[in-house]
Chain A
């Protein structure tokens, strides 16, 4: 573990200690703000009960499945728009008009169509998650230096070979930016739709425990969601390092920073 990580953990520990002290000394005194130690006890209680693991699986499945669908749509559409100025001319206005629509607005629609189900969650996750991937992929493909098009042509590559060996890798850093932004968004949307739509998973659990006046359990669920976000991000960076070793060794690869 490097020094930066240790300092980061130190910062978190100092914050938790201050929180604990402030609650115990009644420096801050809210009815439903438990101390970190109480939340930790709730986590242990949840782990022993075991239901939380099913809830984690449910939310993860919705977030990741939605994210994967968004990747397929976003990368394919983004590549097509990025490579074809004509396609951009026809579609960019639609993209810009649809992009600001808040995904959460689709919850009632999705519930009407799909009921309280995983499909409802997927609809709400996919719609906003597509955009960061599509826009970054499009920008990446559109920004490929014309020289690389020359190189692909001079080696007499087929369009498919040129896309796979030259254009896609040249665009990979931009696509990865989109993947990172959208992964966090997918988790957020999955939790949100579980809070206000499909009563399942971690999002519903937060609301349920709040309604049951169990702030310790509620905070414990919030903590789990936060940890999931960190783990997913780290897993994505790890996978990208395997796929793009050259890009990661490069100094100042700005997209690899958090």
Chain B
């Protein structure tokens, strides 16, 4: 299987108030083509920093970080990002359709763009909202817009930074199932950051635990629970409960 991301002994220090602060240390893992890797950890373990490294928005201080075998030197083609704070991440002055259009390649003609935007909005259930402005929509719908914007160019990798953390439980469950369905239709690899252990298990092919300060990947769990997953029955499986217990312990019991 092809490797999308490959990290070896990656460390990150950032300057905080003029002093260097170690954020990540000794992070090694890889992401395979087509998998959903969820990264779970308590706050302050460097989850977002790790995703920013994968996104090419920050550079590691040491170690190697390869995307398809080449060192990352900035945001890569075919990698789309979904941020947690949809209100800031969406262009509030543009309609839903025009926000999604931001992700489209420039070479597409007008009809091709319209068709692609329509298809993508249908995928996330917003086909009737193309003319609305983001601030006219609920939080869950705004996050769907951001997901559509990420998906519209048919990325091979989707990086998601706690995308459902600000949403209520029901919306969160609905979007989790939508994400799994969308993945089946697009076959994108997904790196999904979360602080929610159950969400990490429910969505993931594998769950990586980020722990400590500075953070490091301390364990990686293979989730051999079959797809399609179901919000009630999957979460009742003995394997799910056992994993929840183990990951909880691996995190340090505070998440």
B7 close to chain A: CB less than 8 A: no
Give, as a whole number of angstroms, the nearest-CB distance from A146 to chain B.
8
B93 within 8 A of A: yes
Report how far A244 CA is from B80 CA in the complex, Å: 28
0/1 string, B230-246, CB within 8 A of A gives 1: 00000000000000000
**Which residues of A sit under 8 angstroms from B88, Cβ to Cβ?**
145, 147-148
B80-99 residues at the A interface, CB under 8 angstroms: 80-81, 83, 85, 88-89, 91-95
Q: Are A169 and B93 in contact (CB under 8 A)?
A: yes
Closest to A166 in B: B91
Q: Which residue of B is nearest A153, CB measured?
A: B75
B55 within 8 A of partner (CB):
yes
A165–B57 CB distance below 8 A:
no
CB distance from A173 to the nearest CB of B (A): 9
Q: How far is the CA of A155 from the CA of B103 in the complex (A)?
A: 7
Q: B83 is contacted by which of A147, A169, A250 (Cβ under 8 Å)?
A: A147
Q: Which residues of A contact B94 (CB under 8 A)?
A: 169, 246
Interfacial chain A residues near B168, Cβ < 8 Å: none
What residues on B are CB-neighbors of A119 within 8 Å? none
A249 within 8 A of partner (CB): yes
The B-contacting residues of A in range 180-235, CB under 8 angstroms, are none
Let me know if A118 is at the binding interface, CB within 8 A.
no
Residue B221 CB within 8 A of the other chain: no
Interface centre among B55, B74, B92, B93 (most CB of A within 10 A): B93
Interface residues of B in 5-59 (CB under 8 A from A): 55, 57
Return the contact of B91 from the options A150, A153, A154, A170 (Cβ within 8 A): A170
Chain A residue total in the interface (Cβ 8 A) = 19
**A247 CB within 8 Å of chain B:** yes
* Given A147-B88, A148-B88; A154-B75 close (CB under 8 Å): yes
**CA A98 to CA B51, docked complex, whole Å:** 45
Nearest CB of A to B217, in Å: 23
The answer to whether A147 touches B85, judged by C-beta atoms less than 8 angstroms apart, is: yes
Q: Does A26 contact B (CB under 8 A)?
A: no
In the complex, the answer to whether B83 meets A150 with C-beta atoms within 8 Å is yes
Partner of B95, one of A154, A156, A246: A246
> Cβ of A68 < 8 Å from any Cβ of B?
no
Query: Mostly helix, strand, loop or mixed at chain B's interface?
Result: loop
Q: Which of A155, A166, A249 has the most CB of B within 10 A?
A: A155
CB distance from A167 to the nearest CB of B (A): 11
Q: Is B182 an interface residue (CB 8 A)?
A: no
* Chain A residue with Cβ nearest B159: A154
Q: What residues of chain A lie closer than 8 Å to B91, measured between beta carbons?
A: 148, 151, 166, 169-170
Measured between beta carbons, the chain A residues less than 8 angstroms from B133 are 246, 249-250
The CA of A148 and the CA of B102, in the complex, are separated in Å by 13
Closest residue on chain B to residue A157 by CB atoms: B102
What separation, in Å, do the CA atoms of A166 and B89 have in the docked complex?
A: 11
Which of B80, B85, B133 has most chain A Cβ within 10 Å? B133
**Given that A153-B57, A165-B102, A250-B135 are known contacts, is A147 also in contact with B89, CB under 8 Å in the complex?**
yes
Query: Across the interface, do A156 and B57 meet the contact criterion of CB distance under 8 Å?
Result: no
Q: Does B77 reach chain A (CB closer than 8 Å)?
A: yes
Bound CA span A154–B159, Å: 11
Question: Within 8 Å of chain B (Cβ to Cβ): is A56?
Answer: no
- State how many angstroms separate the Cβ of A82 from the closest Cβ of chain B: 17
User: When the two chains form their complex, are residues B93 and A246 in contact, meaning their CB atoms are under 8 A apart?
Assistant: yes
A151-B212 Cα distance, complex, nearest whole Å: 29
Selected contact of B57 from candidates A154, A172, A247, CB within 8 Å? A154
Minimum distance in angstroms from B190 CB to a CB of chain A: 16
Quick one: which of A125-183 are within 8 Å of B by CB? 145, 147-148, 150-151, 153-156, 165-166, 169-170, 172
Given the contacts A145-B88, A153-B75, A247 and B103 also touching, CB distance less than 8 Å: no
20 contacts between A and B (CB under 8 A): A147-B89, A148-B89, A150-B57, A150-B81, A150-B89, A153-B57, A154-B55, A154-B57, A154-B80, A155-B75, A155-B103, A166-B91, A169-B91, A169-B94, A170-B91, A246-B94, A246-B95, A246-B133, A249-B133, A250-B133
Taking A150-B57, A170-B93 as given, write out 4 further A-B residue pairs in contact, using a Cβ cutoff of 8 Å, ordered by the A residue number: A145-B88, A148-B91, A153-B57, A154-B80
Among all A-B residue pairs, the 3 with the closest Cβ atoms: A147-B88, A145-B88, A246-B93
